[in-house]
Structures are given as structure tokens and as C-alpha cells.
Structure 1
Amino acid sequence: MTLARSLLLFVLAAFLEIGGAWLVWQGWREHRGLWWIAAGVAALGAYGFVAAFQPDANFGRILAAYGGVFVAGSLGWAMVVDRFRPDRYDVIGAAICLVGVVVIMYAPRG
């Protein structure tokens, strides 16, 4: 599997998990209804399958690395969907998390 495919899987997984959680939030907290919640649950389930396509066989490693993608992706989602403006500490924290993703997933191992 190529690096580009692995990165694409992380982006797709982030979209499904963050989007799914957002749909559940909208359905419940914003009273948009059960269809929104159901769509969110389906997206969250799809996230689990997408994550399983990562090349590394270690679930813990994949999930740990995905955590960094989730942090950065959540801020990106909030900026686009909710018009959230991250401050410099949000950006620095997300960058640190993404460096962690690179180390966890793509460091050379013997």
C-alpha cells in the first residue's frame, strides 16, 4: 500500500467519524430527528471498516495514529461547518498531533 493510499484512508476515516458524530449531535442536540441520528450511526459504522483497510496489522497503532488525525480533522470540520476559528494553541496542538501520526505510522521499523 502506498503512502498516498494510507493518507487517503485516514482522511476518509476522519470524515466518516467526525461527520457521523456531528450528525448524531445535530439529530439529538439540535432536534433534527432520528434520521440524522441514524445517518450518523451508519457513518460511524463505516468508519470502522475504512480504518481496517490500513496496511499495518496492529489495531492499537492504527487507532493511536488516527487519534492525531481526528484532532486535526475535528478542528478543520469545525472551521468549515461551524465557522469555528481556532487560535494559535489549537493549531500548534493539531500540528503536534499530526507529527505524532507520522512517527507512529511511517517511521522505519526493522
Structure 2
Amino acid sequence: MTLPAYLAAALCEIAGCFGFWAWLRMGKPVIWAIGGTALLLCFALFLTRIESETAGRAFAAYGGIYICASLGWMWAIERARPDRWDLLGALLCIAGAAIILLSPRSA
């Protein structure tokens, strides 16, 4: 359940923030900001579904997922292909997220 929750949270956060971007920076109607607000609420709900003992650890690991999802958004929606540095950075972020979330912890 963790990976689907992370992916759903990332999609909602990116789309929600893009709604505000479109309204404030691209001159779209205010309905874009309203939709963005609804998506950001969904983001918060999905993020609380992450399997982790602490919120901070779940949020820190989410950062890596968010970075990769943002690059995917950039490619799919904004039609700007990530370059090798984007991909290397994303790989490092996913490695860091995995270490944070999946490492064995002592009690």
C-alpha cells in the first residue's frame, strides 16, 4: 500500500500545485485554483496512508517520490524531457528515500 499511496499523493500534489500555477502564472480562471485546493486536500489524505511509525520519516521519504513524479509531470504534461542530470538526481533521491523508509530500525 505504501508505493501506491506515495504515487497518488505525488500526483495530487503536483496537479494541485499546477492548478495554482495555471491560475496565477498562466491567467487561467479561478476554478483552476479551486480544483488545485481540492487536489491538495487529497494529497494530504494519501500521505497519511503511508506505512511508517513516524510522520517525519514518511514525509522525508516522500520527497524522493515527489521529485521523480515532478520530472514525470514535466515530461508528460509540459513536454520537456528530463536530461541525464535530472535522471541521475532522481535516482539518488529514490535511493535516499528507500534508505529512509526501508532500513531496519532498532527499538
Q: TM-score, normalised by structure 1?
A: 0.92
- Name the count of aligned residue pairs: 106
Gaps of 5+ in 1: none
Alignment of 1:51-70 (within 5 A): 51-70=47-66
Q: Which runs of 4+ in 1 moved over 2 A?
A: none
Aligned counterpart, 1:36: 32
Per the alignment, in what secondary structure is the counterpart of residue 55 of structure 1? coil
Whole-angstrom CA distance in 2 between matches of 1:78 and 1:35: 22
CA RMSD of aligned residues (A): 0.9
- Structure 1 residue 86: deviation in Å? 1.2
User: What per-residue deviation string (whole Å, max 9, x for no partner) do you get for residues 16-74 of structure 1?
Assistant: 00110111111221111110001001111111111011121311101111111111110
Per the alignment, in what secondary structure is the counterpart of residue 49 of structure 1? helix
Identity, % of aligned positions:
34
Per the alignment, in what secondary structure is the counterpart of residue 52 of structure 2? coil
Alignment of 1:4-43 (within 5 A): 5-43=1-39
Q: TM-score, normalised by structure 2?
A: 0.94
- Structure 1 residue 108: deviation in Å? 2.0
